[in-house]
Amino acid sequence: QVQLVESGGGLVQAGDSLAISCVTSGITFGSYVIAWFRQAPGKERTFVGHIRNDGRTHYAESVKGRFTISRDNAKNTAYLQMNSLTPEDTAVYHCAADTDRTYRDAYVYTLRTEYSYWGQGTQVTVSS
């Protein structure tokens, strides 16, 4: 059974940093693209960033320069390091995974529809 479990969310103040994790099982982790999406109350789930199986990363413009995605293949785990957080970053953060087709352009993997597996999400709340 495929499972993605996020952890590390919490309540922080504006300007703070927070790192969250996505532990996976049931997949050949090294062959998968891992993405982070977020969903704020009353809003659509939107793309945050992804990391390809070969380590290439891509980020939404709103988080570029503040957020960093990484992966540890030995631990089947992906991470999202979030810096300079603002209240606008408040959301439930979900990780997602699917088999990486390395010939595909980065934009393809900004789409929710490209991901077969999703975690339950972890809440990140940023106070002003």
- Once rounded to an integer, what is the mean pLDDT over residues 27-55? 97
pLDDT at 102: 93
- CA dist 119 and 127 (Å) reads 24
Q: pLDDT digits over 49-71, tens only?
A: 999 999 999 999 999 999 999 99
- Once rounded to an integer, what is the mean pLDDT over residues 94-115? 97
Average pLDDT, the chain: 98
Rg (alpha carbons) of the chain, rounded to whole number: 14
pLDDT at 20: 98
- CA dist 83 and 122 (Å) reads 17
Confidence of residue 107 (pLDDT cuts 50, 70, 90): very high
Q: Using DSSP, state whether 76 is helix, strand or coil.
A: coil
Confidence of residue 48 (pLDDT cuts 50, 70, 90): very high
pLDDT at 52: 98
pLDDT at 81: 98
Half-sphere exposure of 85 (CA within 13 A, CB side): 22
57 Cβ partners below 8 Å, 6+ apart?
Answer: 49, 50, 51, 68, 69
pLDDT at 127: 98
Cβ–Cβ under 8 Å, residues 72 and 124: no
pLDDT at 18: 98
- Once rounded to an integer, what is the mean pLDDT over residues 35-54? 97
Amino acid at 2: V
- Once rounded to an integer, what is the mean pLDDT over residues 2-22? 98
DSSP 8-state secondary structure symbol assigned to residue 62 = T
